[in-house]
Amino acid sequence: MISAFAAVLAVGIAAAADPGKGKEIYGRCLACHALEYDRVGPRHCGLFGRRAGSVPGFAYSEAMKRSKIVWNEKTLDRFLANPPKAVPGTAMTYAGVPEAKERADLIAYLKTACR
């Protein structure tokens, strides 16, 4: 019952995701990330469907290279909620985006930003 409710809630949040608000939230990422080029963190264009730790030439942590994550809405949502917990040893030493709606907005922005 609880998992069904959570699933309905998740669908509702995803449906209401606002890429405009996600763009604002992306401002939090700008110390380390850019859409089109690698910085302290890897580029975000081409993220969806990409295996974690696979951008050529980027120096990932061993933890990220071993994670076997393929980035999609679900894996991003889990990772962004608490990166060090999702991938212990990641170089993304950032406590995360705790609000589910903010994560949905951010993911919605990332899906559209490079089109």
Q: Given the rule CB under 8 A, which residues bind another protein?
A: 27-34, 37-40, 84, 91-96
Q: What angle do CA 13, 15, 19 make, to 5 degrees?
A: 90
Nearer CB in complex with another protein: 34/45: 34
39/70 with CB nearer another protein = 39
Taking the complex as a whole, how short is the minimal distance between the CB of residue 74 and another protein, in angstroms?
A: 22
CA 9 – CA 11 distance, rounded (Å): 5
Q: 12 or 88: whose CB is closer to another protein?
A: 88
Written as six digits, the tokens of 76 are 């991003």
C-alpha torsion angle, residues 33, 37, 38, 43 (rounded to 10): 60
CB of 87 to another protein, least distance (A): 12
